[in-house]
Amino acid sequence: MEIPAVASLQAQAEPLASLSISHLSSSTRLKLADDELSVNAYPTDCGGIIYVGAPRYRMPTEADLATIFEVAEQAGIVWLKFDSEAAVIDGLPVFDMSGPEV
């Protein structure tokens, strides 16, 4: 027998994908850390969580993030978790993590 709270909670579930913060340019990483992205984001100590929506609610003005949003929307992903320890996703651009871009 299913507990009503379990079913209710499952009905609210939204897909989240975890990916390496190296998929963001240094300027976008800085904006994420400073909570200054053009889309809804929640910075963390090692990256952040960004809301894509289903369908996508807004296109980011940051070009690198816009590319990721396009792929996420096609994959049915509602939330993106950027983390320094997460996997690098094949087919997405990877940026140098050593310092600021020139």
- Helix, strand and coil content of the chain, in percent to the nearest 5, comes to 30, 20, 50
Mean pLDDT to the nearest integer, 6-16: 93
CA angle 80, 83, 89 (to 5 degrees): 65
Average pLDDT, the chain: 93
| 34-83 per-position pLDDT tens digit | 999 999 999 999 999 999 999 999 999 999 999 999 999 999 999 999 99
Query: Cβ distance 76 to 54 under 8 Å?
Result: yes
Q: Count of CB atoms within 10 A of residue 82's CB?
A: 26
- Given this model, what pLDDT does residue 35 score? 97
Global confidence as pTM: 0.89
